[in-house]
């Protein structure tokens, strides 16, 4: 079953086509990698799908429902949630409050305060943040802050989670931990799309990879196919 | 330690109830002048708390207070004698709220200074549209307002202040309080976490305007005459903002203390040195912004911390009796 279909999605900033005519399908339960050089339009694609910005043309179908044109909070409630490249936790709020906010407002339908508390604690256990519950989010290390963002996203009970460079700036141990976390998330039945520059991570955990360049999709396939693809090698290593 | 925390939790409400009881009984024995002075102070407290209700929660600096206060004053004039005072207050509160919904829907997509400037200019816009209407269409300027005695006005204002405090407290405790701190600290993340930020901001703006509008209508009964130029005075936008900054917004006491001190200062200075009072105001504000970014409440917190820092090593030394000299910092 396909959980997400993107059809001919385009976005221009002035004369620049940041994303042009991108089609992509995401199977339910897979981990899909999204790679490409800087400025390829990866984050813009995330912004378009999650409703941060509206596309110039094309549409996004999530769970058999057109979601392009909806506001981000509505898209989040439908079960499609994202994290940010430049980590965006809520400074001034504790880790617990960060995640609780996701549970209270991001879940589809109404949720009682007690239920939200239970779910928040579960997710803090799941992401191994339970000990940091009362710590202000901004005082954590980058790795932990990124985890808080993921925990907050998970609290909204997503069907599809979009991770924007979750591993950038992390050391090898932290990258390994994050990879483990992504696998654990997928094993819960949550589909994952991840933008990543850390090739080791992408090649190891993604079942499928899509390559963007200058706003266009230029290749798609298994990690093996992508690593042998001539165009991709040219883009990454120069002609 | 546990008892200490309990005591801390009880002490705030107890002080509030004592102050409230004192203020309720005050007209029984105080002089008329005191009541009139307190009426002005309560008005500023109500405006400042209403301003903090929106701007303190969301981090958006609104300079539209004069729009809603002016609407309250002006409605009292237009509907003078048509409705009894409680209904009139409700009516102007609602008109202000609707106005806030409109202004909010147009402007709350703006951030930072742009929002502040737009709200500021909305005061001038409404003032001059009404002025034009009075002169060119009605042909009559201004409206008469029936006087209501000071005691009644005092009690109504006190009730409004209590109502705003309760509302603020309830919102702070609710899930929407959490969402609002999310909006304040990172709106983009809040929106992507399922918070309908636009709706929340606009509704809170309207709620704040509702209280400001009611306050305006009560105050109009002491003015006898209002017209658009008097009603939509920009100072009503600036003073509550300055008072909140002066008092500090980290606790509910800050705006109350800020408004009280400022309003008293205004009353004191305007009778003794009317020329110097704006000058002294400006000086106080500059000093506050430069040296007391968290206002009087922040100053209190800092002094307490300083005292504690001095006190703690001494206590420690007493407890340890000098045995563990190397652990003392």
Closest residue by Cα to residue B239 from B71, B39, B43, B37: B43
Q: Per the domain annotation, does B182 fall within a domain? A: yes
Q: What length is written for chain A?
A: 239
CB contact under 8 Å between A73 and B182, yes or no, is no
| pTM for the whole structure | 0.88
A chain contacts of residue B177, beta-carbon cutoff 8 Å = none
Q: Per the domain annotation, does A232 fall within a domain? A: yes
Q: Is A127 on the interface with B (CB under 8 A)?
A: no
Q: Per the domain annotation, does A109 fall within a domain? A: no
Q: Per the domain annotation, does B145 fall within a domain? A: yes
Q: How many domains does chain B have?
A: 1
- B1: tokens are 């330690």
Q: Per the domain annotation, does A130 fall within a domain? A: no
Tell me how far apart the alpha carbons of residues B88 and B72 are, in angstroms, rounded to a whole number: 9
Q: Per the domain annotation, does A41 fall within a domain? A: yes
Give yes or no for a contact between A77 and B192, defined as CB atoms under 8 angstroms apart.
no
Q: Per the domain annotation, does A59 fall within a domain? A: yes
CATH code, domain carrying A214: 3.40.50.300
Strands (E), A70-224: 80-82, 160-164, 191-195, 208-213, 216-221
Return the H-helix or E-strand segment holding A19: strand A16-27
pLDDT (0 to 100) of residue B319: 55
Q: How far is B7 from chain A (nearest CA, A)?
A: 22
Q: Per the domain annotation, does B87 fall within a domain? A: yes
Tell me how far apart the alpha carbons of residues A1 and A27 are, in angstroms, rounded to a whole number: 6
Q: Write the pLDDT tens digit of every residue in B116-165.
A: 999 999 999 999 999 999 888 888 788 888 888 888 999 999 999 999 99
pLDDT (0 to 100) of residue B278: 79
Tell me how far apart the alpha carbons of residues A77 and A79 are, in angstroms, rounded to a whole number: 5
Mean local confidence (pLDDT), B307-320: 66
Strand order in the sheet with A57-62: A16-27, A2-13, A57-62, A65-66
Print the domain residue range for A52.
1-74+192-239
Return the H-helix or E-strand segment holding B144: strand B143-144
Closest residue by Cα to residue A89 from A121, A132, A33: A132
Print the domain residue range for B153.
31-236
Collect the ranges in chain A with pLDDT lower than 70: 237-239
Q: Write the pLDDT tens digit of every residue in B164-222.
A: 999 999 999 999 999 999 999 999 999 999 999 999 999 999 999 999 999 999 999 98
CB contact under 8 Å between B175 and A105, yes or no, is yes
Mean local confidence (pLDDT), B283-289: 85
CB contact under 8 Å between A152 and B193, yes or no, is yes
Q: Is A132 on the interface with B (CB under 8 A)?
A: no
Q: Per the domain annotation, does B243 fall within a domain? A: no
Q: What length is written for chain B?
A: 329
Q: Per the domain annotation, does B139 fall within a domain? A: yes
* Kind of pairing between the strands at A160-164 and A191-195: parallel
Q: Per the domain annotation, does B320 fall within a domain? A: no
* Per-residue pLDDT band at B318 (split at 50, 70, 90): low
Q: Per the domain annotation, does B295 fall within a domain? A: no
Q: How many domains does chain A have?
A: 1
Mean local confidence (pLDDT), B245-261: 88
B chain contacts of residue A81, beta-carbon cutoff 8 Å = 192-193
Q: Write the pLDDT tens digit of every residue in B30-68.
A: 888 888 899 999 999 999 999 999 999 999 999 999 999
For residue B322, is pLDDT > 70?
no
pLDDT (0 to 100) of residue B320: 52
Strands (E), B45-104: none
Q: What end-to-end distance do the CA atoms of chain B give, in Å?
A: 23
């Amino acid at each position: 079953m396909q959980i997400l279909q993107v059809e001919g999605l385009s976005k221009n900033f002035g004369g620049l086509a940041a994303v042009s005519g991108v089609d992509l399908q995401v199977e339910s339960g897979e981990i899909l990698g999204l790679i490409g050089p800087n400025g390829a339009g990866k984050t813009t694609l995330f912004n378009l799908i999650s409703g941060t910005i509206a596309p110039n043309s094309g549409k996004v179908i999530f769970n058999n429902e057109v979601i392009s044109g909806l506001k981000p909070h509505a898209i989040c409630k439908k079960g499609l949630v994202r994290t940010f490249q430049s980590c965006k936790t809520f400074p001034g709020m504790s880790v617990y409050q960060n995640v609780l906010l996701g549970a209270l407002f991001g879940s589809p339908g109404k949720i009682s305060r007690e239920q939200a508390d239970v779910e928040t604690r579960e997710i803090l256990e799941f992401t191994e943040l339970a000990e940091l519950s009362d710590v202000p989010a901004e005082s954590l290390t980058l790795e932990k802050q990124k985890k808080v963002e993921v925990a907050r996203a998970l609290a909204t009970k997503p069907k599809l989670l979009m991770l924007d460079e979750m591993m950038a700036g992390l050391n090898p141990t932290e990258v390994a931990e994050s990879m483990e976390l992504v696998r654990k998330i997928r094993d819960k039945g949550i589909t994952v799309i991840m933008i990543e520059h850390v090739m080791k991570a992408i090649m190891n955990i993604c079942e499928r990879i899509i390559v963007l360049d200058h706003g266009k999709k230029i290749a798609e396939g298994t990690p093996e196919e992508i690593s042998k693809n001539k165009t991709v090698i040219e883009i990454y290593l120069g002609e | 330690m546990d008892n200490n925390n309990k005591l801390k939790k009880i002490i705030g409400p107890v002080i509030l109830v004592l102050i409230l009881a004192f203020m309720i009984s005050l007209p029984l024995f105080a002089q008329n002048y005191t009541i009139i002075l307190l009426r002005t102070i309560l008005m500023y407290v109500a405006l400042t708390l209403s301003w903090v209700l929106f701007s303190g929660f969301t981090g958006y600096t609104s300079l539209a207070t004069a729009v809603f206060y002016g609407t309250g004053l002006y409605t009292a004039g237009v509907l003078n004698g048509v409705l009894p005072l409680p209904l009139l207050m409700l009516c102007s509160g609602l008109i202000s709220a609707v106005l806030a919904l409109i202004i909010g829907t147009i402007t709350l997509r703006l951030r930072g200074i742009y929002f502040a400037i737009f709200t500021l200019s909305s005061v001038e816009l409404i003032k001059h549209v009404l002025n034009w209407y009075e002169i060119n269409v009605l042909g009559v300027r201004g409206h008469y307002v029936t006087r209501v005695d000071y005691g009644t006005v005092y009690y109504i204002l006190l009730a409004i202040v209590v109502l705003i405090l309760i509302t603020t407290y309830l919102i702070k405790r609710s899930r929407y309080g959490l969402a609002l701190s999310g909006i304040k600290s990172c709106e983009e993340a809040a929106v992507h976490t399922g918070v309908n930020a636009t709706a929340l901001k606009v509704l809170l703006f309207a709620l704040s305007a509702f209280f400001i509008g009611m306050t305006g209508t009560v105050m109009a009964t002491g003015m006898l005459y209002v017209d658009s130029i008097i009603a939509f005075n920009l100072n009503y936008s600036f003073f509550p903002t300055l008072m909140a900054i002066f008092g500090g917004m980290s606790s509910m006491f800050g705006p109350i203390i800020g408004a009280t001190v400022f309003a008293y200062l205004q009353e004191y200075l305007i009778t003794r040195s009317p020329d110097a009072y704006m000058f002294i105001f400006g000086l106080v504000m500059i000093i506050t912004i430069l040296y007391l970014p968290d206002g009087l409440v922040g100053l209190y917190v800092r002094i307490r911390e300083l005292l504690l820092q001095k006190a703690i090593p001494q206590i420690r030394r007493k407890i340890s009796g000098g045995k563990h000299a190397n652990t003392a910092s």
